[in-house]
Structure 1
Amino acid sequence: MTSSIVVQLQESLTHMKSQQQYRSLPSLEHQGRYVVSQGKTLLNIASNDYLGLGSDTELQGEFLKQIDRLPVAQRPKMSATSSRLLTGNDTQLQALESELQSWYQNATDKQNLSASKSVLVLNSGYHANLGILPALTSLPVKTLILADKLVHASIIDGMRLSQSKLVTYRRYRHNDYEHLARFIEQADETVERIIIVTESVFSMDGDRADLLQLVQLKAKDARIELYVDEAHAIGVLGDTGLGLAEETHTLADIDYLVGTFGKAFASVGAYIMCDEVVKQWLINAMRPLIFSTALPPINHAWTRFILAKMPNLTHQRTHLAQISIKLSRAIDQQHRASPTSQNISYDSPIIPYILGDNACALAKAKQLQAAGFYALPIRPPTVPANTARIRLVMNAKLTNEDCERLIQQL
């Protein structure tokens, strides 16, 4: 690297610091539901560990004892050592896919889920969103992708990789389905396929997509396919934790449903539920799957262990909803993501505390940390300009007393 490039990089970093947009990796020690940062023990309200399973040492101990009881030769390996198409397709991974499929089928008999639906496990949510759309749009079919303005960066990157002479994408205003409908109406007659892409629960605002309205839009045009990223809803919403699609009875209408294990599951990896033919196409065309070493079998074993418990974690989901509603209602109008919202219903455990200015968000984070809460500022470009915030995240290990103390600080 030339010295001039190093100088330019340093100047750009200096500019980031002047705009309060500079980031650095924190040095943390995890102790159950707390983190130790710079010598201070702080209650963690920044993690996506929504059900508190990642900090549950008893649960981890139960899993390790289960592994110890197995003969050494049958214990899950610590590395897959190659991609799934080589030697990485371990029995743990195949069993996980089968059990995920049963989870959906057993919980959705009343929703007429097609028997042709199948599950494909992937290395991460980012891998999933980066690779699925490019693979789906690699056919010689004129395609229009319409995505919510606030979809995750991984989806945006996937759309960019999909763009070609035959594939274009546009982004409709956040949760504005009239705007989306106009894009559909304006689609050229030569467009053979329209893929609507949304998150079910949005990662920064914590609000929900209206899946029922999207399904109604889909029903009006045979060209439309629906791609829903349930990363922040899996484990949290629905009677058995199957997400917003389960809660709204729209599972049968979603063509590509993406879920992750790195949040409420307290594990690692992701999956897509789709038609069996689509699954086979992804195996043959999805570059992040083809060219990546599979996750270690021990991780898939842990995910299976959590999956077996997930349908029965109703108490945790109920408590999570209660404290999330309590915190959401305590935030005044000027700091809400949606100033017109009355916060009378439960959207998700993600409650943004909007401050607008980067410096204000940094100062508020420091105040909360001084009060014993590990809260972090979220600034552009992660969120839109002038919407810097504290992303408050509830989890099922937090008590009502914890919630009250947090409200006092706000």
Structure 2
Amino acid sequence: MPHNNIDLYSEQLDFLRNENQYRVLKSSTGYNFINFSSNDYLGISTNKVLLKEFLSKTDLDKTQFGSCASRLMTGNYEEYFQLEELIAKAYNKENVLFFNSGYHANIGILPAISKKGDLIISDKLNHASIIDGLKLSPADFTRYRHNDIEHLKSILEKKAHLYNNIFIVTESIFSMDGDIAPLKELVELKKRFETFLYVDEAHALGTHGKKGLGICEALGIIDDVDFIVGTFGKTMNSIGAYVACSRVFKEYLVNSMRSFIYTTSLPPINIKWNLHVFPYIMQADKEREALFNNIKLLKELMSYSGLSIPSETQILPIIIGDSGKTIQLSDYLFKKGFIIMPVRPPTVPKNSSRLRISMSASHTENEIKSLTSNLLDCDLQQ
């Protein structure tokens, strides 16, 4: 029997094709389409004024475009300290630690801080990066039904006395449904059972809160959350992520987090851009207002035709169900000039394939009206 049977992989690819779960890489350049699949919630990617301001104050001749080492070797530039201090001050947290991406953060933090004898309790619909972190952790883990406080409470009542440290983990805005976690109730349970609370604010950073710091800020619970994760790869049109936490946890992560220790750091040019754009999103009140006006408009236009979208955030899913039909609808909209990518299993549960609309402050009223009209025509043609 051969031990290098490539046919097994070809068969699996055929299976994915038959299940309408096969994926291909498509170019995002060279097209003049209206993008409703981007995480560019405040329109920063098209903000030429912001970019020109950055370039005018950045001496490119003295800026490195590569770091050549990890942060613990020679890749820890002064810009990193400046950025971490800036973010920590914004949150009024003791410390912030910066990472290469949200994925690096979520696959590394939990495995580093949890041990055998600990328990991680994760929302059922948490992002794949969190799930991967759970699998890498030496701790036990279980999942509670999505946003189900009573189920989480029952798990804590049954199991809390069996473990040392317990970590409750959730996103604040869930990436596929656009719904918001019951964070105040989670804080109450955290206090009652004396656990740690870990909140991923990836999709709330920039869009929610007076300073755009997320749902924790909007609810006034920043001080009650032990680990707040934010990412620069979405609203801020950049790259990188961070965790706002205590001094002890930052030092512990620097000494134990494998996805932090064993990776080349981001180039200083990226960190300089982050230093430029983070203060901008904290003052982007007009952009946040425009974003939520756009959300309201699309929901109203869709509701006039009998289609309700329950999400109150910038992530507005239209559940289709069948993967094949979802692909057909996405292709139809693409021909009409709109990019709305189909989201299918395993990213979402079986029979819940969807068109995931991501709203931006930069979308115009005419673009939203045109999208709505084509969406409704699209449904009529299926």
- Aligned residue number for residue 355 of structure 2: 390
- Whether the 8 Å CA contact 2:160–2:193 is kept in 1: the answer is no
- Whether the 8 Å CA contact 2:91–2:244 is kept in 1: the answer is no
Q: CA deviation at 1:308?
A: 2.2
2:343 pairs, out of 365, 378, 397, with 378
- Aligned residue number for residue 380 of structure 2: none
1:42 has 2:25 as partner: no
- Whether the 8 Å CA contact 1:336–1:354 is kept in 2: the answer is no
Aligned counterparts, 1:150-165, within 5 A: 150-163=125-138
- Aligned residue number for residue 111 of structure 1: none
Q: CA deviation at 1:329?
A: 3.9
Q: Read off the aligned partner of 1:154 and give its amino acid letter.
A: S
Single out whichever of 364-373 and 149-158 deviates more from structure 2: 364-373
- Whether the 8 Å CA contact 1:76–1:92 is kept in 2: the answer is no
1:144 has 2:119 as partner: yes
Q: CA deviation at 1:304?
A: 0.4
Question: Which TM-score applies when normalising by structure 1?
Answer: 0.87
Query: Residues 19-61 of structure 1, C-alpha deviation per residue, up to 9 Å, x if partnerless?
Result: 110001102216xxxxx1xxxx210111111111122233222
Q: Read off the aligned partner of 1:90 and give its amino acid letter.
A: Y
1:64 has 2:55 as partner: yes
Q: CA deviation at 1:188?
A: 5.2
Unpaired segments of 5 or more residues in structure 1? 31-35, 106-113
1:250 has 2:227 as partner: no
Percent sequence identity over aligned pairs: 41
Q: Read off the aligned partner of 1:162 and give its amino acid letter.
A: S
Unpaired segments of 5 or more residues in structure 2? 376-382
- Whether the 8 Å CA contact 1:335–1:355 is kept in 2: the answer is no
Q: How many residues align?
A: 373
**Aligned-CA RMSD value:** 1.7
1:334/1:408 Cα in 2 relative to 1: closer, same or farther (>3 Å)? closer
- Aligned residue number for residue 110 of structure 1: none
Q: Read off the aligned partner of 1:99 and give its amino acid letter.
A: L
Q: CA deviation at 1:63?
A: 1.2
Q: Read off the aligned partner of 1:389 and give its amino acid letter.
A: R
Aligned counterparts, 1:197-216, within 5 A: 197-216=169-188
Q: Distance in 2 between matches of 1:350 and 1:187?
A: 34
- Aligned residue number for residue 70 of structure 2: 83
Q: Read off the aligned partner of 1:180 and give its amino acid letter.
A: L
1:188/1:244 Cα in 2 relative to 1: closer, same or farther (>3 Å)? closer
Aligned counterparts, 1:287-326, within 5 A: 287-326=258-297
Question: Which TM-score applies when normalising by structure 2?
Answer: 0.94
- Aligned residue number for residue 20 of structure 2: 20
Q: Distance in 2 between matches of 1:43 and 1:185?
A: 49
Q: Give the secondary structure class of the aligned counterpart of 1:5.
A: coil
Q: Read off the aligned partner of 1:7 and give its amino acid letter.
A: D
Q: Distance in 1 between matches of 2:18 and 2:124?
A: 28
Q: Which runs of 4+ in 1 moved over 6 A?
A: none
